[in-house]
Amino acid sequence: MKIERKISMEQKAAVRSLRERVGISVEADNLKTLVDTIVETEQAGVEQIWVGGPPWKLETLTALAAAATRTTHLQLGTSVLQVFSRHPVLMAQQALSFDALAPGRLRLGIGTSIQEVGKSIYGVEMERPLAYLREYIQVLRPLLQSGEVHHQGRSFTTDVSLSASSQIPILISALGPVAFRLAGEIADGAIPAYCPIPYLLNTALPAMREGAAAAKRSRPPIIAHVQIAFTEDRATALQIARQRLAFAATISVYRNMFIGAGFSPQELDTASDRFVESLIVFGDDSKIRERLLELLGTELDELVVGISPISDATQETIRLAKIIGQL
């Protein structure tokens, strides 16, 4: 896939090093494997990792706190914690406790999740999710930055002072233009999932600029999700990626985004090769590195790279870490 828009030399000079702009999405079924993998990624030279927050896995901030005690400088991000599962005061308490343990290393990614998760697991109907998220941040940000908040709104009424404060960045998940505008307006970054790169460049970034302009602030970074597979066989890569993407295409918020990105309902229903190939990078180490460098040459601020495992997810994550550590 050809990337048409490149960042200017002036922009390149202003951004961080390539290695600092790439993080790894780390997954594991148990705490020991997760922490061990995170330790190895830091040893390989990776500067940031991200761990998701699905309700059927380990509690993310607790797991990351365990990783923080065994690493020294790695940025540790959540991608993302569901806002409907915890009150913003509790979120602030957890984040500030984490920051006391590992000062300046947390990047707090939060989001509304999807209707299916909210209803089936938390029993929440999730009405007006973006309005809820906006008010959530109105409570959360002052608590983090000043340690206190006095708020009375539609979803929250709270008057509390905490014993700590910190400039912890708040990033939000985003899929549609309205969410990206919200990220540009009030967040410290956007974390989209499964978004094709042209959609991010042509739809997401302009929406974030609009939101930032409305708030009279600079556009915060967008952190693009990239899925990779260590195989040179196209059919194998598409088969591995199709298993996850076919399910995503049935979920309304993702489906609407995919249609907005130019895919037909038929392509989504059949998980067509064109659709799947737009969301997977595959090849040997050299090809993966080349593609990551190409993406870093666009207007995308950062990447978070995840593994579509061919055989051993942990070993392939470490293999990816070594590539990123040498950028």
Could you read off the pLDDT of 154-192 as tens digits, one per residue?
999 999 999 999 999 999 999 999 999 999 999 999 999
Q: Taking the alpha carbons of 39, 41, 43, 46 in that order, is the dihedral positive or negative?
A: negative
CA distance 121 to 55: 8
Instruction: Out of 38-42, 87-91, 114-118, pick the least confident.
Output: 114-118
Q: Taking the alpha carbons of 195, 196, 201, 202 in that order, is the dihedral positive or negative?
A: negative
Q: Tokens 């307006």 appear where? A: 185
pLDDT band at 121 (very low <50, low <70, confident <90, very high): confident
CB-based burial label for 192 (10 Å; 0-12, 13-18, 19+)? buried
Average pLDDT over residues 132-141: 98
pLDDT (0 to 100) of residue 56: 80
Structure-token pair, residue 275: 């659709």
Q: What is the DSSP secondary-structure string of 103-147?
A: TT-EEEEEE---HHHHHHTT-----SHHHHHHHHHHHHHHHHHHS
pLDDT (0 to 100) of residue 308: 97
pLDDT (0 to 100) of residue 125: 74
Structure-token pair, residue 309: 């495992």
| pLDDT one-digit tens code per residue, 33-73 | 999 999 999 999 999 999 998 888 889 999 999 999 999 99
The more confident residue out of 284 and 126 is 284
Judge contact between 139 and 151, C-beta under 8 A. yes
Average pLDDT over residues 307-315: 97
Q: What is the DSSP secondary-structure string of 135-189?
A: HHHHHHHHHHHHSEEEEE-SS-EEEEE-S------EEEE--SHHHHHHHHHH-S-
pLDDT (0 to 100) of residue 113: 78
Domains in the chain (CATH in brackets) are 9-325 (3.20.20.30)
Q: Is the pLDDT of residue 78 over 50?
A: yes
pLDDT (0 to 100) of residue 116: 67
pLDDT (0 to 100) of residue 118: 63
pLDDT (0 to 100) of residue 8: 44
pLDDT (0 to 100) of residue 2: 38
| pLDDT one-digit tens code per residue, 232-267 | 999 999 999 998 899 999 999 999 999 999 999 999
Q: Is the pLDDT of residue 114 over 80?
A: no
Percentage of the chain with pLDDT > 70?
A: 94
Structure-token pair, residue 192: 């989209």
pLDDT (0 to 100) of residue 3: 43
Q: Is the pLDDT of residue 1 over 90?
A: no
Mean pLDDT taken over the chain:
94
